Structure 1
Amino acid sequence: MIINLSTLYIVVLLISACMAMSWGVLWRYYPTIGGSGFWMLANLLSAAGGTTMAVGEPMQSLLLVMAGNAMVISGFWMVWCGIRHLQGLRSYWEIAVLAGAVTVMLLLLVQESRIGRNTVYTVGQAMPMVAAAVFLLRRMRRGMASVLTALALVAGAIGNGVRLGSLVAHQEGLLATAAYNQFLFVTMLVVIFSGLTRNLGLLLLVMDRLRRNLQKLAAVDDLTGLPNRRYFMGRILEEQERAHRREQPFSLMIIDIDRFKQINDTHGHAAGDACLLHFSRLVSERLRATDVVARMGGDEFCVLLPETLASQAAVVAQDLVSAVRAEAAEWRDVAIPMTLSIGIADWRPARSATISDLMHDADLALYRAKRRGRDQFAVSPDAIRAARVELFEAASAG
């Protein structure tokens, strides 16, 4: 078999250049997704560094060889920087620059030794590869994409290590030239496929991040940042199933901002948005971590209170009514008074009520609060009757 290492080397450079263009396009269209810009630079540096070394070695130009090595090693640190950036962490791109400078200094120290130069090159690449693999497996969600990327990085580091070992063995006369060329061929293939797999894994990580961002957008209200109707309806169905298994109650509150249309007509829709944000902040500060508040549309909000009876939800409702009444919203130095109307209903294991029934009961209670003059809460009659029955049964049992 005729082994053309030069052809494989050209393939590596072309793949790096193509991947750099691909990451550049992704960065152009999805600039908010971290990592793409760093991985574009990583592949550019690998392509440029490899080309520089390919030109410098026949010319026996130590300067070009050192510059090429520095660029390739900096490129691998850029992979690590991009992974950190994807996670929203500081990239520490300065390390990539420093690594290139350190590489040049070390190569100057061992410039007369081929094994020394290759050791610097191999270790310099292995360090960011291993660091990135460890970060992927320890700090990121351990899915197929992160595992695949980590394995590709480790495979690349091992491939370079084997290449260094075969060089040492060849230099010491332990490995014939033909066998050494075979090792170079195999390790070059490992480098090619590990690079392709690494970039595929990184692309899958980006796709996973895009998917999660889309899911978040589909479940979050744009203005307030609270969950939206779709998320809330799914969450309350889950809570019903959980409450049924554990035979525990939960409560639902439906909230309207009183005379919200009047606020919009008087102060404008931007002021109305400020009032919605003001209310969202107040209600979020007063709920438990297990509670769920969602904007259902317009000025209507719903609150899910797990393991809570209507009588307990009434205490929360009174606190919300008082807090909103006491703290007016601010809009362009104008104080806009706000009040709430709240309807409360609860789901109990003894009842066979559906979620539609529960929301209907809470809605009726809300309109009862409005008919009474607003700025207050009302509890569903069914919840009141159920509480009375429980009190009566408890008294009878006592």
Structure 2
Amino acid sequence: MTADVPTLLLMIIVTSLVTSGALLVLNGNQRNDGLQYWAGGLLLSALAHALLLLYGRIPYLLAIVLGNALLSSALASFWLAVRRFHGLALHWARTLALLAAIALLMWLLQHQFASRVVIMGLILGLQAALVLWVLRQRALGAEQQRSRGALLLVCGLGLIVLTMLLRAGAALFFSLNIASILQSNLVQTLTFMVSFLATLVSSFGFVFMAKERADQANLRLASQDPLTGAANRRALMQALETELARASRQHTPLALLMVDIDHFKRVNDHYGHLAGDHVLRHIVGVLRQRLRASDVLGRYGGEEFMLLLPDTDLHGAAQLAEQLRQAVQAAPCEWQGQRIPFTVSIGVAASADTPADPSRTSEALLQAADQALYRAKDDGRNRVALA
């Protein structure tokens, strides 16, 4: 079964143009996620296929030499888009050198159709494989959930690799029996039909990748304190309710620590508010180094932090609190060549491992930890007090 090649080329051109325009609108003023490079690649693809469509009506230099160079440019732009998305260097010099080499090869092989098909099939397949390699390397280096967008992108690029290699193999080992790139046969039909599908699938995949990143950023903004990166108060309250419910189901203890920086106003007054912000970030780093993966650290408000310790009784929480207090005291904050010493007071409360325990409410646990914290401050600060 064959299809009209000019019609398939026209489908690719229209799809590429429409998708590129949609991506440029979607990208807006952002310049950090690679969408503009992907949209540029689609524009280059549309122009390349338009030149191929005009083969025989425009000079060979434009139709084949420039057309194939633009096809390679499109895949190079996709490669740049994925690298930009992952914050990698773009390597413009290598890209331009490849395009110049392709243009020269197409000029030298202007009377050898089969050789052109083999070479371009191998080059385009390799370029698509390089994009897949970048995706694989980033997936291996990041501990994250499987991205559905990345999966679509891999499928689209995989189609390109497979099609280009099959097209090159057909030209190398079998006769294509065509005199022009616009002539229809099974290989031509499969090539351009798959190119049409791959353009859609891979573009949707890249858009979904960008959307997933935006969703993750919005989730972080909704749950993280923007200054310290710790959980914000809203996220802390949700975690507290979740951990209390789990502790009740499993009959396990839950501890809560309230940590307050002693005389924090003096830090701001003496060193400035920027130094105070740095101290807040510094203490989060010190505390995190001594917490388990299951523990929750968040900024409760101002210079006050809250820690949730699942499966931890009052005795264990008191031991950890003392370790944290000593760690903070032993790690002054470095700021513009100065060392800012500071200490913390910590209030410790815990619910028992019995369902009937009246402390198994968020209000009761918070109140108990707050009262312990105030007692630590009243007793002279830089100490731990138990509820």
Short-chain TM bin? 0.7 to 0.9
Contact 2:13 2:50 survives alignment (8 Å): yes
**Structure 1 residue 137: deviation in Å?**
6.4
Alignment of 1:17 onto 2:17: yes
User: Secondary structure of the residue that 1:29 maps to in structure 2?
Assistant: coil
Match of 2:116 in 1: 117
Alignment of 1:304 onto 2:308: yes
2:364 to 357, 363, 368: 357
CA distance in 1, matches of 2:259, 2:171: 74
Q: How does 1:148-167 map to 2 (within 5 A)?
A: 148-160=152-164
**Structure 1 residue 214: deviation in Å?**
0.9
Contact 1:137 1:146 survives alignment (8 Å): no
User: Secondary structure of the residue that 2:220 maps to in structure 1?
Assistant: helix
**Structure 1 residue 160: deviation in Å?**
4.8
Q: Over aligned residues, Cα RMSD in angstroms?
A: 3.6
Contact 2:147 2:209 survives alignment (8 Å): no
The 1:231–1:4 alpha-carbon spacing in structure 2 relative to 1, beyond 3 Å, is same
User: Secondary structure of the residue that 1:222 maps to in structure 2?
Assistant: coil
Q: How does 1:28-47 map to 2 (within 5 A)?
A: 28-32=28-32, 34-47=33-46
CA distance in 2, matches of 1:307, 1:93: 54
1:235 to 234, 239, 244: 239
User: Secondary structure of the residue that 1:215 maps to in structure 2?
Assistant: helix
CA distance in 1, matches of 2:327, 2:155: 54
**Structure 1 residue 254: deviation in Å?**
0.4
Residues matched between the structures, number: 378
Between structures 1 and 2, the one with greater helix share: 1
CA distance in 1, matches of 2:304, 2:271: 19
CA distance in 2, matches of 1:178, 1:256: 75
Alignment of 1:223 onto 2:222: no
CA distance in 2, matches of 1:331, 1:137: 40
2:299 to 267, 270, 295: 295
**Structure 1 residue 299: deviation in Å?**
1.2
**Structure 1 residue 192: deviation in Å?**
2.0
Q: How does 1:127-166 map to 2 (within 5 A)?
A: 127-133=126-132, 136=135, 139-140=138-139, 141-160=145-164
**Structure 1 residue 149: deviation in Å?**
2.3
**Structure 1 residue 295: deviation in Å?**
0.6
**Structure 1 residue 188: deviation in Å?**
2.7
**Structure 1 residue 76: deviation in Å?**
1.1
What are the Cα deviations for residues 35-74 of structure 1, in whole angstroms up to 9, with x where unaligned?
2132133223323333444556534424762232122113
Contact 2:122 2:168 survives alignment (8 Å): no
CA distance in 2, matches of 1:39, 1:284: 39
Contact 2:256 2:349 survives alignment (8 Å): yes
**Structure 1 residue 342: deviation in Å?**
0.8
The 1:155–1:267 alpha-carbon spacing in structure 2 relative to 1, beyond 3 Å, is closer
What are the Cα deviations for residues 98-153 of structure 1, in whole angstroms up to 9, with x where unaligned?
43244335435544311111122222222233443465467545343222222222
Contact 1:255 1:366 survives alignment (8 Å): yes
Q: Which has the larger radius of gyration?
A: 1
1:282 to 262, 279, 286: 286
What are the Cα deviations for residues 365-392 of structure 1, in whole angstroms up to 9, with x where unaligned?
1111122122211011xxxxxxxxxxxx
CA distance in 1, matches of 2:40, 2:178: 39
Alignment of 1:200 onto 2:198: no
Q: Which segment drifts farther, 131-140 or 105-114? A: 131-140
TM-score normalised over the length of structure 1: 0.79
**Structure 1 residue 237: deviation in Å?**
3.7
Match of 1:81 in 2: 80
User: Secondary structure of the residue that 2:300 maps to in structure 1?
Assistant: strand
CA distance in 2, matches of 1:112, 1:66: 12
Q: Which segment drifts farther, 120-129 or 321-330? A: 321-330
CA distance in 2, matches of 1:113, 1:292: 67
Contact 1:256 1:340 survives alignment (8 Å): yes
Uncovered stretches (5+) of structure 1, i.e. residues with no partner: 381-398
Contact 2:3 2:184 survives alignment (8 Å): no
User: Secondary structure of the residue that 2:346 maps to in structure 1?
Assistant: strand
What are the Cα deviations for residues 157-209 of structure 1, in whole angstroms up to 9, with x where unaligned?
4455566677789946599x999446644543332232122211211111011
Uncovered stretches (5+) of structure 2, i.e. residues with no partner: 140-144
Q: Which segment drifts farther, 56-65 or 363-372? A: 56-65
Alignment of 1:58 onto 2:65: no
Q: How does 1:178-193 map to 2 (within 5 A)?
A: 180-181=184-185, 184-185=188-189, 187-193=191-197
The 1:116–1:310 alpha-carbon spacing in structure 2 relative to 1, beyond 3 Å, is same
Q: Which segment drifts farther, 252-261 or 128-137? A: 128-137
Alignment of 1:269 onto 2:273: yes
TM-score normalised over the length of structure 2: 0.81
Alignment of 1:344 onto 2:351: no
